Amino acid sequence: MGFSSSSRRSRIASVLQLCLCMLLCRVQGGSSHEQHLEEGMNTLIAPSCSARDSLDKDFHPNCWDQPTKTSTAKREPSSYELYIVYLGEVKHDHPDHVVASHHDMLTTLLGSKEESIASVAYNYKHGFSGFAAMLTPEQAKQLAEVPEVISVEKNKIHTTATTRSWDFLGLNYQMTGTSSGLLKGSNYGEDVIIGVVDTGIWPESRSFSDEGYGPIPSRWKGKCQLGPDWGSNNCTRKIIGARFYTAGVLDKHLKADTLSPRDRNGHGTHCASTAAGSIVEAASFNGLAEGVARGGAPRARIAVYKSGWGSGSFSTASVLAAIDDAIHDGVDVLSLSIGGRGQVAFGALHAVQKGITVVYAAGNDGPRPQTVGNISPWVITVAASKVDRSFPTVITLGNKQQIVGQSLYYQAKNSSGSSFAGLLVGQGCTADTLNGTDVRGIILFCLPLPDDARTPVSTFEYASQYVRNGGGSGLIFAQYTTDLLTVTASVACQGIACVLVDLDTGEKIIKYVGAASSPVAKIEPAHTVTGKEIPEAKVASFSSRGPSRDYADIIKPDIAAPGANILAAVGDSYVMYSGTSMAAPHVAGIVALLKAEHPDWSPAAIKSAIMTTARVTDKRGMPILAEGLPRKTADPFDYGSGNINPTGAADPGLVYDIDPRDYNKFFGCTIVRRTNVSCDATMLPAYHLNLPSIAVSELRRPVTVWRTVTNVGEADSVYHAEVQSPAGVMMEVEPTVLVFNTTDRVHSFKVKLAPMWRLQGDYTFGSITWRKDQKTILKDEETREKYDYAVAHPEEFFYNTAQYYRAYYGYKTDTRSVLIGLLLIVSAFQYINQLTSYSQAIESVKQTPAYRNRLKALEFERTGGISSKKKGNKPMDKKVEDELRNEVDLQIQGVQKPSVWNLCGVQLILLPYLIGKLLIWQICWFWRYRVKKSPYAWEDACYLTRTSLRMPANTWQNIDEFTKEDLVMKRLWEKANMERHIAEARRGSKQRRR
């Protein structure tokens, strides 16, 4: 649904994100590129190792696994491919029995146990049951028909998707106030185990120092797998486990790497240090972004699962094997900075069902919509945002005009400094446009073609390489955004100055070159600027966007975190990377802190806490923007529920928890899409999952959605709903008030959604915010003591504070009531006076001859003209006589009987006001005093009566749920602010008199 943000002491407890669409035009996406397993590939396997409790660093050699090789049978690549067979939950007590069942199944298919053993690359036997095996398409098809098999899919290849960032998120360990919050409360994530599925790790980095660490947690059951450049001493009390997986990876990627957990790419080291790196002082990238480098949970332990090779190639089979081992090893959090469309979703599902929170990167295919990956509802999918840090680079033109770009350009210590060089304009800067242009000793300015003005990375790389190879001095490159600033520090820019400028700045350079006979320019080294002067919290342009192409009833991404120009460890140094790969470990580190502070929270509760406390505005209160074409205000498809707020996530108030079994229905029936999978016939749409978001992809008729919240904050709490309906949709929440106490910690509410009109192909957004009132009045100790005393002595407190309510509420309400009452009394006296005058007029008329003559005439007419005495009729009836007299009175004198409405009709309209107040007073008094036996019923009734007209309509629906603490809290707050209220009232009355 939409979102709000809050800090730890914020009054906002929970926000439910809503995305609605009347009719979604779905776009089905293609599958990833598939890769074959190379002929004669070897796999490294080793037995498991027991946990290590000793503080001694010299572990026993038998504790570490030595690599051994087992060759698979040689198969023709043209006929055999690697298939992943998923069998669901583990149905055997021991992993060996699970493996045996896999071989029995394959033996039946292949004809011999030897063939079965030779074909298997991985057995998934801990968290879930399945295997990866070399099969022909025909064999895979036959295996898919086996009743126990849920799915059979070909292996696919996935790709990879700090200092300032943690300060920006409010986790500055050097600040006492912040340290007393989430960081200190979680002890910096101590002994939480983060599993990093990536390209390995560089153990010698200072970010992975284990100095001051205690023994490895006894629950750890992982191993340290050895390799040519990885010994037993590379596993420490910080890096407590390391494994690597090769099946399904192309041979060219394996040859470019080493068969060990060591990271030759740098990506895995960067991610691991971002999530859980130890504290390193004075870290920087050649003097830029200097500060304290550390991970989100600097005291957490790291378990490495190397599944990426070469330039970052991941095999689905290897990733699933890593997840399966991580479940067995005992990790608490899994961080996967890889892209994909969900082929490994079932592995993550089983991890979540075992209590492991799984964090994925959203992908780097933005700002195009419907590009978000890893869209399973049980994982946290992370978008990338920017931080309040900039690297301005001054460019001085020959006319002394200075313009500012962005770069990571630095000069070596022995450099002679910057100097002017010739400036040449290259339109497009492609191979066709440059075409042998001489750039020796000059600065090339590139203005990309219109269709390449968004993020022309490939053009930039070509142009920078061209300048470097041609002996040029520098490159100024104009483009739409500078999010991918790290390209200016790439290998192609080594030795030259590479600067990014926006398109407007580029036009200034074009004007200068056109006016100058010999244009020149000078590029100064970049410097670092942080803080309020820098626009913050924008969604990076490269971050993949929603909605999901596959499952429109699930909003993705879930959250945004820093992912642009992030400084972290790579090898023995510190380098800046950009991507959602950098954003995911930020969230993984925060999850580790939350896990340490709230070990009883489930993965769904942690995800909810992160999402419902996210920020949708920056520190200035302005909406977060999303870079793209065009730049716009961000919405849930850009950043999910908003930018992550770690401190607020530690105290969310309410969470949307999910029974892990609920995922099975959704997974079995929606994702796998197998006809032989049994599904619950009454299964509801995906938007009925108890997620902290709601998405209805085809809202053509009214829909009712239920959500359940669990109170994880103060036991006695009352929350009120604030509803912001999506455009074109009527949204109602019932009930609008949730009351929690020590026994009632869980409440459900329903959301009614009804379209106002039929709107096709568009999304609209809204929000539901649950606010807890008066949460901030107990901040100081003195107020807390007063509150505690008032709760313990309600009679005394209510008696002493009665004057304040009369001064504020009583003055306004009672004065109005008295004026209305006086008006009604005057009107009553007027009516009585008119009745008296009417009676006197009647009596005076009766004494006149005309009255008597007219009365006789009327009597004669009534009797038919015959005297009553002659006919012997009885005397005239008294009622008839009165009617005749009145008629005579009206005809002769014109005297009219007074009417109540003519005299005081307007005043009588106000009578129900007084009667209603009296009834409310009596109802409240009776309920509290007679039914509830409350000792403070009289004051309670008076208070509620006086404030009745200003209370929400739902107050009286929940009158029986009011507690002593609630009323004391409200009155204490009013008493504390009474002088201000009275002063404002007096000031207003003076202005009215003037």
Q: Which residues are catalytic?
A: 198, 267, 581
Report CA torsion sign: 682, 684, 688, 690: positive
Q: Directed axis angle between helix 345-353 and helix 316-329, to 10°?
A: 10
Task: Tell me the CA distances in angstroms from 296 to 272, 299, 609, one per residue in order.
Answer: 10, 9, 17
Q: How far is CA 337 from the centre of its chain?
A: 19
Query: Which residues lie below 8 Å from residue 18, measured CB to CB, with a gap of 6+?
Result: 1, 2, 693, 694, 695, 726, 731, 751, 765, 766, 767, 768
In whole angstroms, give the CA distance from residue 741 to residue 529.
48
Peptide bond before 547: cis, by omega within 30 degrees of 0?
yes
**Largest Cα–Cα distance in the chain?**
148
CB 749 within 8 A of CB 733: yes
Query: Which residues lie below 8 Å from residue 710, measured CB to CB, with a gap of 6+?
Result: 605, 654, 655, 656, 657, 745, 746
In whole angstroms, give the CA distance from residue 700 to residue 677.
30
Task: Tell me the CA distances in angstroms from 825 to 365, 822, 829, 907, one per residue in order.
Answer: 77, 5, 6, 10
In whole angstroms, give the CA distance from residue 832 to residue 840.
13
CB 389 within 8 A of CB 527: no
> Strand, helix or coil at 634?
coil
How many H-runs (helices) and E-runs (strands) does the chain carry?
29, 40
From 426, 541, 418, select the one nearest 477 (Cα to Cα): 426
CB 658 within 8 A of CB 691: yes
Which structure tokens are listed for 228?
């040519």
Q: Which residues pair with 740 in a beta bridge?
A: 717
In whole angstroms, give the CA distance from residue 617 to residue 3.
10
CB 189 within 8 A of CB 593: yes
In whole angstroms, give the CA distance from residue 797 to residue 813.
22
Which structure tokens are listed for 193?
């185990």
User: Which stretches within 171-314 are classed as H helix?
Assistant: 176-178, 184-185, 251-255, 267-276
Which structure tokens are listed for 172?
């500055």
Residue type, position 177, single letter: G
Buried b / exposed e along 763-794 (16+ C-beta atoms within 10 A): bbbbbbbbbbeebebbeeeeeeebbeebbeeb
Q: What are phi and psi of 406, to 5 degrees?
A: -130, 135
Query: Which residues lie below 8 Å from residue 970, measured CB to CB, with a gap of 6+?
Result: 774
Q: What are phi and psi of 880, to 5 degrees?
A: -65, -40
Query: Which residues lie below 8 Å from residue 742, measured CB to CB, with a gap of 6+?
Result: 715, 716
Peptide bond before 367: cis, by omega within 30 degrees of 0?
yes
In whole angstroms, give the CA distance from residue 691 to residue 696.
13
The per-residue DSSP string of 908-934 comes to HHTHHHHHHHHHHHHHHHIIIIIIS--
In whole angstroms, give the CA distance from residue 136 to residue 110.
11
CB 121 within 8 A of CB 247: yes
Residue with tokens 């995906």: 686
In whole angstroms, give the CA distance from residue 769 to residue 733.
11
Q: Directed axis angle between helix 911-925 and helix 937-946, to 10°?
A: 150
Residue with tokens 């190397």: 306
Which structure tokens are listed for 827?
């009107």
